[in-house]
Structure 1
Amino acid sequence: MTAALAAALAFGAAGCVAADEPETPPSSGGGGSAGQKLTQLTVATAGSMKGYSRNHFPHWRDTGKNCDVRDTVLKRDGEDIRLSGCNVVDGRWESVYDGRALTDPSDVDIDHMVPLANAWRSGADEWDDAKRGEFANDLDRPQLFAVSASSNRAKGDQDPSQWKPANRSYWCQYAENWVTVKHHWRLTVTTAEKAALTDMLEGCR
């Protein structure tokens, strides 16, 4: 049984499935497509952190009775999920950033592919909180992933010129995902960020 199917069945058994419950992480498309999208991104210097607060990016959004986006991603990305109501209390996850196998939900973070603070410096400072909430809870783009807490915290708000996953085999997918998110939300990239993404996408060929 696939991880997505196991999660979906477990969620269904709990009786609190959201109508648009994702079964697999959204695809970022092929490397060529990501390369084309990268050329369309506006290059700009990173903006100021003045006024930034995670509270300007409301999350995790409710997705049903006692359900939220965090639990949705934990279910989607895990296997052998066990629930208490809609809360994930047990399961197995493989962190794509560092290859770690995890069995305790408390060791799992939900990472924003493009971090909230990076988005703020890339143009989200000009959005209202409603739009920032859409970004922070985006399940339609490859923006939210269940990864090890240690890798998520090592990444922080850094872009690919400053931090890359320890798992080099994920670099291609990581770059594709990053570009897909920034392209959809019309966020800018720095010169160094674009150069790093270009190098990472070379590995997709």
Structure 2
Amino acid sequence: MQRNGIALTARRGRAGALLVALCLIGVGVAAATAAPHTEPTATAATRAEPTPASATPRASAAAAADSSAALPAGRGQDALAALAALRVHDSPSTSGYQRDLFGYRAVDLDRNGCDTRNDILRRDLHDVMVKPGTHDCVVLSGTLADPYSGTTIAFTRGTSTSNDVQIDHVVALADAWASGAAAWDPTTRFRLGNDPLNLLAVSGPLNTQKSDGNAAQWLPPNAAYRCAYVARQVGVKYTYGLTVTTAERTAMAGVLAGCPHQPLPAGSTLPVPTAG
């Protein structure tokens, strides 16, 4: 019992030290720039969730070594450790951004003959009904346990109803552009634009409300989902080597302070733990 208590105290100490480090990093970056910025349960779908293909800028051990903070010893699986490795850039620009440059729904990454929106609807909705003659692709109806509102939404395909459920890019495409994707080749941008890691079926009105906001500008009204939401944003940014602003990083650290061992979502590149 004494040994277990010591281990628990050590784990809590590491989590607390990491949070302090994040705060100090944020203060340091802000000072430098001042002188001159619950995961939805995968439902029984007709097909398995596509596995994201590896992308050119996806994080590697070398990229982690170049990040703005060293990973703490013994950590490497959770969102807080990955957040510590994200580089800070406080002068993001959306100049030249066009949504079409990410090819959302224009490519079929898993080559299953179905567009990205319907892939995600089948993954995230319950009680899915598909249109006959579409090779189990086009979703006609289903039920969404919306992670952003915490409510249940009945989805029916149609001109006036389809937008009740939208597919959100958790790291907004404009934010991705401003935090590194502007320099990517088209293939890599298409990959991010259709990567299931960065996509969730959510309430249409809340997706519209979020717009291009990052974690410092918008969080889901459903407070119970914020840890998973921020962990997914961190997972996407770490996996693709995207940057964060000081304000964004501070907001992310604030959310993760309440869940210091929140895991990264499946499909993320995991930080490489340092030797303890």
TM more than 0.5: yes
Q: CA deviation at 1:45?
A: 1.3
TM-score normalised by structure 2 residue count:
0.63
Paired residue for 1:103?
A: 154
1:149 and 2:190 correspond: no
Structure 1: tracts of 5 or more residues without a match:
9-16, 25-29
Please show how residues 91-170 of structure 1 align to structure 2 within 5 Å. Answer: 91-105=142-156, 106=162, 107-139=164-196, 141=197, 143-170=198-225
Query: Unaligned stretches of 5+ in structure 2?
Result: 1-40, 52-74, 157-161, 261-276
Q: How many Å apart are 1:48 and its aligned residue?
A: 1.5
Identity of aligned pairs, percent? 40
Contact in 1 for aligned 2:181/2:242 (Cα 8 Å): yes
- Look at both structures and tell me which one has the larger radius of gyration over its CA atoms: 2
The alpha-carbon deviation at position 46 of structure 1 amounts to 3.9
Give the secondary structure class of the aligned counterpart of 1:166. Answer: coil
| Residue 77 (structure 1) aligned with residue 124 (structure 2) | yes
C-alpha spacing 1:92/1:23, structure 2 compared with 1 (3 Å):
farther
Post-superposition shift, 1:69? 1.2
Residue 49 of structure 1 pairs with residue 49 of structure 2: no
Aligned equivalents of 2:177, 2:212: Cα separation in 1: 10
Report the aligned-residue RMSD: 2.1
The number of equivalent residue pairs is 184
Moved over 2 A (4+): 2-5, 61-65
What corresponds to 2:62 in structure 1?
none
Kindly provide the amino acid, as one letter, of the partner of residue 37 in structure 1: A
**Any conservation in 2 of the 1:98–1:166 contact (CA below 8 Å)?**
yes
Select which of 231, 249, 256 maps to 1:201: 256
| Superposition map of 1:31-70 within 5 A | 33-60=78-105, 61-62=107-108, 63-65=111-113, 67-70=114-117
CA distance in 2, matches of 1:37, 1:98: 26
Q: Could you tell me how far apart the structure 1 residues matched to 2:231 and 2:223 are?
A: 14
Q: Which has the higher strand share?
A: 1
Counterpart in the other structure of 2:244 = 189
Q: Which letter does structure 2 place at the counterpart of 1:187?
A: L
Q: Deviations over 1:98-146 (max 9, x none)?
A: 123111241110001100000001010001211100001112x3x1100
